[in-house]
Amino acid sequence: MHVEPPSHAPSSLKELGIHYLMIVLGILTALGLEAGFETLHHRRLAQHTVEQLETELRANLAEVRSAAQKNQANADELAALYGDVKALAKQGKVKPEALYEMLRQRLKIAVQTPALRRDAWEAAVADQALIHMPRDALRRFSEAYTAQRETQLAVQATFNAVGSISRLTDAAVDAEFGRADPIEVLKALNGYRLTLRSVLSTQEELASQLGESLGEPGPAAPASAPAH
């Protein structure tokens, strides 16, 4: 900041006061403008960060919904296969080649997991843009990214705890060599069904949380029964 000095020494207290007041007002004006520009910069930074986070979360939400849809289709096919194997088992002796063909043609071992990006969130943390965001926006974004992390941990824990896919692949190999027991196959199929259900439930909960954080309307509440 540049302050123009007086052209001559003040000749009276009044003139000295005027010069002093001009200097103080100049400093206060400069500080006020600087604070205003800084506030405007922070506001623009916060708005840009909100837009970046919403864009990233919307992409993640689309990934979650797509994965859940594919897992649901796989779960439906698996339920039908389980029912047919169960029907064969109830009939008595099952031909190994028939069981193998059924598994070979209809069994699809695949669990879809979405790629949940958090680049925008990490960038906002690194440049301290989060501290300039409105409190409610910070809360909803924080909840969304926390839900993403917890979902990934929950899915991983499900696979580690159940181990259904390895059991199912073992049953498929046994069937290929004619040594599969239909009851053991049913157990393996059921374990895989439980895994899919758990993953699907977790993904549906995450989709709901992301939708809420993005301000999407939730499912409509069921209409109450009319009073009699």
Instruction: List the structure tokens of 16.
Output: 């000295």
pLDDT at position 9 = 57
d(C-alpha 131, C-alpha 134), whole Å: 8
- Tell me whether residue 117 is in a domain: yes
- Tell me whether residue 224 is in a domain: no
Residue closest to 148 by CA, chosen among 122, 195, 111, 116: 116
Residue closest to 22 by CA, chosen among 49, 40, 3: 3
Query: Locate tokens 């008595």: which residue?
Result: 92
pLDDT at position 220 = 42
pTM for the full model?
0.73
Instruction: Identify whether the C-beta of residue 143 lies closer than 8 Å to the C-beta of residue 214.
Output: no
Residue closest to 146 by CA, chosen among 67, 68, 213, 204: 213
Kindly report the number of other CB atoms within 10 A of residue 141's CB atom: 23
- Tell me whether residue 10 is in a domain: no
pLDDT at position 208 = 93
Convert 106-129 to b/e letters by CB count within 10 Å (16 or more is b).
ebeeebbbbebebebbeebeeeeb
- Tell me whether residue 223 is in a domain: no
Residue 80: C-alpha distances to residues 74, 76, 77, 200 (Å): 10, 6, 5, 17
**Residues whose CB falls within 8 Å of the CB of residue 19, separated by 6 or more in sequence, listed in order:** 6, 10
Question: Does residue 97 have a pLDDT over 60?
Answer: yes
- Tell me whether residue 198 is in a domain: yes
d(C-alpha 107, C-alpha 90), whole Å: 20
116 alpha carbon, distance to own chain's centre: 6
- Tell me whether residue 88 is in a domain: yes
Residue 135: C-alpha distances to residues 130, 139, 142 (Å): 9, 6, 10
- Tell me whether residue 108 is in a domain: yes
- pLDDT tens for 127-163 read 888 887 888 888 999 999 999 999 988 888 877 665 6
Counting the structural domains of the chain, the total is 1
pLDDT at position 18 = 67
166: containing domain = 16-213
Question: Does residue 224 have a pLDDT over 50?
Answer: no
- Tell me whether residue 179 is in a domain: yes
- pLDDT tens for 104-113 read 888 888 888 8
Average pLDDT estimate for 190-205: 90
Q: How far apart are the first and last CA of the chain?
A: 79
